[in-house]
Amino acid sequence: MTRASLFKFVGLLACVFLLACYLLVYIASDLDRSEQEDRAFHVEKALKSLEAALTGSIKDYAILNDPLEYKLSEKDMGWSHSLEKIGLELHRTLGVQGLFVLNGQNQTIYSAVNGELTSVQAERWANHSLGPFLNEARAGAKTSAPTSAFININGIPALVAAMATGQTRTRSSSSTGSSSPSLFLAVVVLDEAKLRKMAEDYDITGLRVAPSDAHHEASILPLGHNGEAGVLQWDLPKPGRNLLELGLPLLGISALLIFLMTWVIMRRATAAAHALDDSYIFLQNAQVALAASEERFRDVVEASSDWVWEIDAEWRFKYLSERFEIVTGLHRNAWLGAVIDGLLSTTEPGMLSSKLCSPRRRHDLHLQCSYIDATGQIRITRISAREMTNGGFRGAATDITEEVEARRRIEFLSQHDAMTGLPNRIRLQEFLDGKLKAFPTDDRPLVMLSLDLDRFKPVNDMLGHAAGDSVLNEVSIRLAACVRQDDLVARIGGDEFVLILTDLTCQGEVESLCERLIKSIERPIKISGQEVFISASIGIAMAPNDAREATELLRYADIALYEAKAHGRNTWRFYAGDMNAKLIERRRLEIDLRNAITNGELQLQFQPRSRIVDGNMVGAEALVRWLHPERGLILPDAFIPIAEDAGMILTISDWVLETACFHAKCWPDNLFVSVNLSPAEFKQGNLIGRVRKILAESGIKPHRLELEITESLMLEDVEGVLEVMHALKCLGVRISMDDFGIGYSSLSHLRTFPFDGMKIDRSFLNKMSENEDHRALIEAMVGIGHALALTVTAEGIETSEQLDLLKSVSCDEGQGYYLSLPLDIDEFTDLVKSTLM
């Protein structure tokens, strides 16, 4: 039997199986449909049976009680007892919950609920309007036919039946006082108990009132007009599904067995034919595979970016792929028969042929070699080689020149700064380690310069980061030009540079180099048509005198740099042992300062400020003091810079502002309190929000708070400072310029910024007695302040002569030791009280 015949037979069996499945599904669907129709018939039959029984009973009682109209007119109380018996009987037999007798005006005369006589109105009990239904019942009085309908009572379907009594047909309307007959009304509510009884009687599973969203299901029966009375639902058995669950697996198993049997028979029948064909097909396939393999090998070799080579036992090329000419630019014919060592050279000592014949080589050998291409350029290639059984080697060559260059570039970037091209911290560490291993001596020390640019941040802020990058590149070029080629100039981050020098033998040579470096950096740098001026501070450490380890040498150079910056910048400092001690001492002081507020070590003193003309006190400046438990009293000049560097200035400033305002709240309203602000507060934190919060919590009037700021703040971020000062003015506080006269452009700042006052620096007052020029200078400062409507205050008044001079130039206010020393809060409070007496 052929394979085609087998497929046809299998297809025929599959068609039979599919037909059987279709018939099984059809029969199952027909069973489910028949079951659905049967259940619906039983539900309808149950309802019709209930309706027939209820209307029949109503009709019997209506006819048997024909003299009802008369009894009603006579108000026979015996009739009510009779109605109670009727209601109880109907409740027991048919489940009638409500039985009512209504007169011609639809008023309930008698009522029985659940077989017990009550006095409830029929419509109120049913919670449903029965008017249309009652009219229809009276219309049937002529035919003596009862009327029934389904209504909804409180969300539950109910069957209601009514019939007019026969008395109206024999008695005149005048005897009852109504032209309309009385009605006999019975109600059966299809509640859960009633439906359960019906389900048991008619073998209906799960008969219930359906939810409102079940109108589209199959097993439902609407009651009333369009289901207004409700919808009944029941569980629909699925005999078809049961049939499918049983039949389909059996049918599938049968089909599987048939297919297996057919497959076994067919397999045995065709085994012999296949065995005969296999030898021929195998031979044919082997020939085709060999041809395809050869073709595939040629396609892969020629399409690959690698070129394939083969050498004989004498190391001569006997095969080169066409890709050889494309990659190298060399001619194949010129190299066929040539020795491999004439083309390829290993990057390690020794020839390629010696590497290939080495007894310790791996079975699969990979070597990195170089060759010169047709353009004369050196190219790098990776050679893979495998020894052939008949002698010689075969392999492939991959050009990795770009890969090697990329790796070199990555290695360079990992050790050099991407912007300036200078060595970075990693390269610096390697260079230092190598130089320190050479054991520098006292005669030829290893010198490290840690260099940091001064006034570089304003360049970034005012001209932008692109200008800052240009400055750093220019500085890098200038630094490299000042040292030898064997020395190292590294950028370790930001505007920080490190220089490693090996040819300086004495301190004088180091200082000469530092002077050249600073002068070179101080030369103007042109950026976008503007000249930028910066300077540098340098810290110096030397090995082996200062340290022999790279990390220590770097740290000591940084300590020396810190010392240079602390002494005015634009200079250099050699590392000394006491610098480290000072730094350690500063760090200890920083740690103690962090706990000073919590431990209550900070104190406020108030130095009165008085009017020059009459000596009356107008306010006081709040001065913070640190009463250290071991070091004693520490003045602000010693710890405020530490607080600014360590990020604690906002905490201290908040404490000073809050304490000063709370104390000043108790002073007379004509006295103000003045508080100094650090420049760092304008750059960090929400100064406006902090001042607003402290004013609100302390309750002090805003005009009684004066904030003093220094001119150096306005040199860095003019727009930002101006915005903050205007916001402070909107709060109502006073702003005063502190230390006027020692900056660069005080007059322009006084005109631009919203100051209320200015304080003349104490240095001018101290030099006033030396010559008349200082007196004229103070007089000019006072004149400038008055011309700008500012309150001029002189600080540092220590003699009566200084006070007399200030009176003569019409200075407004003054403070100093001659007027009053700084006082603690109790002493200042006593002073205020004494001035009021």
Give the CATH number, domain containing residue 167. 3.30.450.20
CA-to-CA distance for 187 and 344, rounded, in angstroms?
Answer: 112
The CATH number of residue 704's host domain is 3.20.20.450
Final residue of a domain: which of 345, 371, 406? 406
Final residue of a domain: which of 515, 545, 575? 575
CA-to-CA distance for 332 and 352, rounded, in angstroms?
Answer: 20
Q: What is the pLDDT of residues 603-655, one digit of tens each?
A: 999 999 999 999 999 999 999 999 988 888 888 888 888 888 777 888 899 99
Q: Is 334 helix (H, G, I), strand (E, B) or coil?
A: helix
* pLDDT recorded at residue 244: 76
* pLDDT recorded at residue 494: 86
Q: What is the pLDDT of residues 501-535, one digit of tens each?
A: 988 888 888 999 999 999 999 999 988 778 888 99
Cα-based angle 780, 782, 784 (whole degrees, multiple of 5): 70
For residue 790, pLDDT over 80 is answered with yes
* 17-31, 644-658, 818-832: range with lowest mean pLDDT: 17-31
* pLDDT recorded at residue 170: 40
Compute the average pLDDT of residues 756-760. 91
Compute the average pLDDT of residues 319-329. 86
Q: What is the pLDDT of residues 136-146, one digit of tens each?
A: 778 776 677 78
Q: Are 638 and 523 in a shared domain? A: no
The CATH number of residue 435's host domain is 3.30.70.270
CA-to-CA distance for 568 and 562, rounded, in angstroms?
Answer: 10
Q: Are 335 and 400 in a shared domain? A: yes
Greater pLDDT, 88 or 447: 447
Q: Identify the band that residue 536 occupies on the pLDDT scale cut at 50, 70 and 90.
A: very high
Kindly state whether residue 22 falls inside one of the protein's structural domains. Answer: no
Kindly state whether residue 24 falls inside one of the protein's structural domains. Answer: no
* pLDDT recorded at residue 512: 92
Q: Identify the band that residue 3 occupies on the pLDDT scale cut at 50, 70 and 90.
A: low
Residue with tokens 């109910």: 158
DSSP assignment of 612-623 equals TTT--EEEEEEE
- What share of the chain has pLDDT > 70, as a percent? 88
Q: Is 523 helix (H, G, I), strand (E, B) or coil?
A: coil
CB atoms closer than 10 angstroms to residue 392: 17
| Residues 774-794: b if buried by 16+ CB within 10 A, e if exposed | bbeebbebbebbeeeebbbbb
Greater pLDDT, 242 or 826: 826
Query: Which helix (H) or strand (E) is 728 found in, with range?
Result: helix 718-731
Nearest-CA neighbor of 432 among 378, 487, 391? 487
Greater pLDDT, 69 or 57: 57
- The parent domain of residue 722 ranges over 590-836
CA-to-CA distance for 580 and 569, rounded, in angstroms?
Answer: 19
**What is the DSSP-derived secondary structure letter of residue 600?**
T
CA-to-CA distance for 15 and 12, rounded, in angstroms?
Answer: 5
Q: Are 549 and 629 in a shared domain? A: no
For residue 460, pLDDT over 50 is answered with yes
Summarize the chain as % helix, strand, coil (round to 5): 50, 20, 30
Q: Are 825 and 684 in a shared domain? A: yes
Nearest-CA neighbor of 101 among 178, 183, 187, 186? 183
Compute the average pLDDT of residues 703-717. 81
Kindly state whether residue 361 falls inside one of the protein's structural domains. Answer: yes
CA-to-CA distance for 513 and 487, rounded, in angstroms?
Answer: 13
* pLDDT recorded at residue 472: 92
* 191-200, 494-503, 764-773: range with lowest mean pLDDT: 764-773
* pLDDT recorded at residue 302: 55
Show the tokens assigned to 388: 């052939």
Q: Are 613 and 716 in a shared domain? A: yes
Q: Are 150 and 67 in a shared domain? A: yes
Kindly state whether residue 285 falls inside one of the protein's structural domains. Answer: no
* pLDDT recorded at residue 743: 56
* pLDDT recorded at residue 828: 93
Q: Are 608 and 757 in a shared domain? A: yes
**What is the DSSP-derived secondary structure letter of residue 679?**
T
Q: Are 133 and 208 in a shared domain? A: no
Kindly state whether residue 207 falls inside one of the protein's structural domains. Answer: yes
For residue 439, pLDDT over 70 is answered with no
Final residue of a domain: which of 523, 551, 575? 575
Kindly state whether residue 537 falls inside one of the protein's structural domains. Answer: yes
| CB 210 within 8 Å of CB 195 | no
For residue 30, pLDDT over 90 is answered with no
Residue 510: C-alpha distances to residues 445, 465, 499, 506, 648 (Å): 11, 32, 12, 7, 38
Q: What is the pLDDT of residues 374-394, one digit of tens each?
A: 888 888 888 888 888 778 888
Q: Are 391 and 446 in a shared domain? A: no
Q: What is the pLDDT of residues 231-266, one digit of tens each?
A: 888 877 777 777 777 877 887 888 788 878 877 877
Q: Identify the band that residue 198 occupies on the pLDDT scale cut at 50, 70 and 90.
A: confident
Q: Where are any strands of DSSP class E within 267-326?
A: 307-311, 317-320
Q: How many domains does the chain have?
A: 5
Show the tokens assigned to 431: 């260079």
CA-to-CA distance for 205 and 209, rounded, in angstroms?
Answer: 13
Kindly state whether residue 413 falls inside one of the protein's structural domains. Answer: no
For residue 94, pLDDT over 50 is answered with yes
* 489-493, 563-567, 665-669: range with lowest mean pLDDT: 563-567
Mean per-residue pLDDT of the chain? 82
Q: Are 216 and 340 in a shared domain? A: no
Q: Which amino acid is at 694?
A: I
CA-to-CA distance for 818 and 806, rounded, in angstroms?
Answer: 13
pTM of the prediction? 0.46
Q: What is the pLDDT of residues 474-501, one digit of tens each?
A: 999 999 999 998 899 999 888 899 999 9
Kindly state whether residue 691 falls inside one of the protein's structural domains. Answer: yes
For residue 177, pLDDT over 60 is answered with no
Q: Are 369 and 226 in a shared domain? A: no
Compute the average pLDDT of residues 169-186. 58
Q: What is the pLDDT of residues 96-111, one digit of tens each?
A: 888 888 887 778 887 8
CA-to-CA distance for 699 and 666, rounded, in angstroms?
Answer: 10
CA-to-CA distance for 382 and 373, rounded, in angstroms?
Answer: 15
* pLDDT recorded at residue 451: 94
For residue 66, pLDDT over 80 is answered with no
Nearest-CA neighbor of 593 among 675, 649, 657? 649
Q: Are 68 and 117 in a shared domain? A: yes
Residue with tokens 């101080």: 522
